[in-house]
Amino acid sequence: MTNEKSTSVQGFGTAPVFFTAISTILGAILFLRFGYAVGTLGFLGVLFIIILGHLVTLPTAMAISEIATNHRVEGGGEYFIISRSFGLNIGATIGIALFLSQAISVAFYVIAFTEAFEPLFNWVKETYHFTLPRQVISVPTMLILAVIIIKKGATLGVKLLYFVVAILGLSLILFFLGSTSYGESNTQSFLSNSFRNSNNFFIVFAIVFPAFTGMTAGVGLSGDLKDPKKSIPLGTLAATLTGMIVYVFVIWKLAAYASPEDLINNQLAMSDIALFGPYIIPLGLAASTISSAIGSVLVAPRTLQALSGDESFPLKSINQFLAKGQGETNEPFNATIVACAIALVFVMLGDVNAVAEIISMFFMVTYGSICLISFLHHFGSDPSYRPTFKSKWFFSLTGFVLCVWLMFQMSPSYTFLSVILMSLIYLGLSKYHSDRGGLEAIFQGAIFQFTRRIQVFMQKTKKSKSVDHWRPSAVCVSEESFERDKVFHLLNWISYKFGFGTYIHLMKGYYSKSTIKEAKDTNERLLGRSMSSKGNVYIDTIISPSYTSAIAQILQLPSPSGMDNNMIIFEYDKHNPENLNQIIENIPLIQAGEFDVCILGSSSRTVKFDAGIHVWIRNLDKENTNLMIMLSYIILGHPDWSKSFIKILHVCQENEIEDARNKLDELVLSGRLPITHKNIEVITSEEKSFKSLVGEYSREAGLTILGFKEEHIRHEGTQFFEGYEEVGDILFVDAHEEIEIK
């Protein structure tokens, strides 16, 4: 953070939150488009729109209220909530879209404000036969509004807000008190034919929905509130519920006192119903639109200031300029200039109808994100999440699902455009701020709960170990993590697609403060290496006074995957096998735990992936054969080996050649293994030793796999692993029991 957020000295209460929200809710759409909506769909049709819209806005209002009462919401309102819940990169992606929506909304409301002067435009046209451009009113209005907010800030903006809300309230009261000859003489109930033109439902919904987007406007004042935890829930929910009630009574009045034709053809049909309608409704429209503009122009700069305070933009100078505030309240002076400049550009264009749909998309994304945050907090069960106001997880989930669904219903093209634009922003931010958390931050708590429940379920339903559907759950232990990394790559190959791998770095010593700190530092280094190599391995460290005690501990560790570990992997340097003795000494201990054992002999050669994996089989490898072949198949699933192949070499007596080949052909065919007939070779062992044959045939192999049994190394010791100098990396495999290749 480059800027220091100041605590507001004046500290607004709940009223500014309520009035900022309600003035935006009861805005231009209410006066200009509700008549058209009722005329097109009828009373029940628009009532369904109000219900559907509030199935989005009410869960969002409750989610905001919940999140705001869990911790202090600082400057930036919705952006602050999203960024502190999803991480700064995702928060900034949504925050930039949110800011643009808020800034362009100012222009939308100012242009709508000019519609209050329609009598003036009509008079000029009739008197002087001249069409006066709307910018004659909208541009000066935008400039005056910008000067007021830039010079006087939120204090005067809130005072002005009270004034225009009072006019708005008066116009609505006179509207409800008014009457028409149509309403008095019409004997047919307005409820008849009250849901018509259902095929236009979502078209009208897209036109009307911006009326519902104002309920979060007050949240943008979070940095200027005395007690956000109290003011945000109370003000937001009160405004949302008040707006919904007013909407229902407005559409009832419109349906009962004006004909569908008048409602469709006259965008100011409310003026025909209200007392002093020709004067009070344009005045109310002016008040509603200018109050909505004020609400947006107060909120947008605060979102931009918070974004720049989090260094969301690529240049430090830009962040410093936009984050700079004035006075004891840290008024966003520079950010207000930028927001007003953007709004002025769209005001001069004169028509933001096309942009308005994209604005609705961005608002939907924002609302959906807030509902998703609330749902994931509920599902994640984070003990630090203790809001004083509590919503329900199913409300939040409903709000999120409806946001996504409605976006596609309103405009699939704009939905895809919004998603593409925000994806590009996210990719740019992730590249610029590669050190910040990304998408994984969203689901961390939820994934924890999900995996926890799955692991408990697997344990409760687990039956005896079965080799029918075998897959590797391997744990590798090494003291030489920073000297040699081939065993780490082997574990990554095994766990990439079909299995799970845990890599444990062994630190010899006693458990103490110093060794714990060293272990944590080592783990961070290993994680960094894993991320840079795109490893798919779980990494940990263990502190133990001896190699044998470490093995005993590791054998008893549960796998993070929820599976039982069934394989342990060791590694030694073929040219300097210092640790080979201690590996061999512990094999009986490992086999007591019924583990498969793999020992990787690492060479100094670079792995030749295109040279294939050679699997050597002897008659003594009855239990090992299937495991060796399956391991070669699993390793071949890693992208490093995508252009490689498996070759099986069976060494036997001359009279066994035909039988050995038939068995291998049958195994490959029935097991559907990607091994061609030409890559199955049967070799006699009468003239040369086994080690000589391996050196001759597998000299260039990328990886060579051989079998062994405990009794072999009990008699031969380390000599069993010697004599393969001409071969590269060798993986020695000892299966605890024969697995079945189905």
Report, as an integer, the average pLDDT of 28-45. 87
pLDDT at 597: 94
pLDDT at 732: 96
Residue type, 66: E
pLDDT at 282: 85
Query: In whole angstroms, what is the distance from residue 298 CA to residue 315 CA?
Result: 25
For residue range 139-152, list pLDDT tens digits in order.
898 888 888 777 76
Going from the C-alpha of 202 to that of each of 38, 100, 264, the distances in angstroms are 14, 24, 17
- Tell me what percent of the residues of the chain surpass a pLDDT of 70: 86
CATH code, 605 = 3.40.50.12370
Nearest to 601 by CA among 724, 512, 460: 724
For residue range 537-593, list pLDDT tens digits in order.
889 999 999 999 999 988 888 777 767 888 999 999 998 888 899 999 888 888 888
pLDDT at 608: 92
Considering the domain architecture, whether residues 499 and 356 belong to the same structural domain is answered as no
For residue range 656-692, list pLDDT tens digits in order.
888 888 888 888 887 788 888 888 898 887 778 889 9
Considering the domain architecture, whether residues 358 and 486 belong to the same structural domain is answered as no
Considering the domain architecture, whether residues 358 and 498 belong to the same structural domain is answered as no
Nearest to 694 by CA among 614, 584, 632: 614
Considering the domain architecture, whether residues 506 and 627 belong to the same structural domain is answered as yes
- The more confident residue out of 310 and 3 is 310
Average pLDDT across the chain, whole number: 82
How confident is residue 440, by pLDDT bands cut at 50, 70 and 90? low
Query: Quick check: 631 and 472 in contact, CB under 8 A?
Result: yes
Query: DSSP labels for 439-494?
Result: THHHHHHHHHHHHHHHHHHHHHH--S--STT---EEEEEES-TTT--HHHHHHHHH
Query: In whole angstroms, what is the distance from residue 732 CA to residue 709 CA?
Result: 10
pLDDT at 1: 43
Is 601 within a domain?
yes
């429940």: which residue's tokens? 453
CATH code, 135 = 1.20.1740.10
Is 382 within a domain?
no
Whether residue 464 is predicted with pLDDT greater than 50 in this model: the reply is no
Is 388 within a domain?
no
Considering the domain architecture, whether residues 618 and 490 belong to the same structural domain is answered as yes
How confident is residue 355, by pLDDT bands cut at 50, 70 and 90? low
- The more confident residue out of 534 and 20 is 20
Those residues whose C-beta lies under 8 Å from the C-beta of residue 129, and which sit 6 or more positions away, are: none
Report, as an integer, the average pLDDT of 277-299. 82
Query: Quick check: 68 and 239 in contact, CB under 8 A?
Result: no
Whole-structure pTM value: 0.63
Would you state the structure tokens that stand for residue 155, as one six-digit string? 């204090």
Is 334 within a domain?
yes
Domain end marker among 313, 329, 362: 362
pLDDT at 422: 80
Q: How are strands ordered across the β-sheet holding 703-707?
A: 538-544, 500-508, 473-478, 567-573, 596-602, 730-734, 703-707, 613-617, 646-652, 680-684
Domain end marker among 339, 362, 385: 362
Query: In whole angstroms, what is the distance from residue 51 CA to residue 150 CA?
Result: 38
Is 405 within a domain?
no
Is 403 within a domain?
no
pLDDT at 705: 96
Query: In whole angstroms, what is the distance from residue 88 CA to residue 606 CA?
Result: 40
Is 690 within a domain?
yes
Those residues whose C-beta lies under 8 Å from the C-beta of residue 41, and which sit 6 or more positions away, are: 49, 195, 196, 197, 198, 200, 201, 204
Whether residue 76 is predicted with pLDDT greater than 70 in this model: the reply is no
Query: In whole angstroms, what is the distance from residue 236 CA to residue 17 CA?
Result: 7
Is 494 within a domain?
yes
Cα 45–chain centre separation: 35
Query: In whole angstroms, what is the distance from residue 149 CA to residue 110 CA?
Result: 14
Q: For residue 625, what are the domain limits?
A: 473-734
pLDDT at 7: 39
DSSP state of 557: P
Residue type, 5: K
Of 369-383, 599-613, 637-651, the poorest mean pLDDT is in 369-383
Of 53-62, 327-336, 643-652, the poorest mean pLDDT is in 327-336
Going from the C-alpha of 627 to that of each of 239, 616, 633, the distances in angstroms are 67, 12, 10
DSSP state of 9: S
Query: In whole angstroms, what is the distance from residue 505 CA to residue 482 CA?
Result: 10
- As beta bridge partners, residue 507 has 543
Residue type, 707: G
- The more confident residue out of 229 and 554 is 554
Domain count of the chain?
2
Taking each helix axis from N to C end, the angle separating 486-495 and 625-636, rounded to the nearest 10 degrees, works out to 90
Domain end marker among 336, 362, 388: 362
pLDDT at 8: 40
Query: Quick check: 145 and 293 in contact, CB under 8 A?
Result: yes
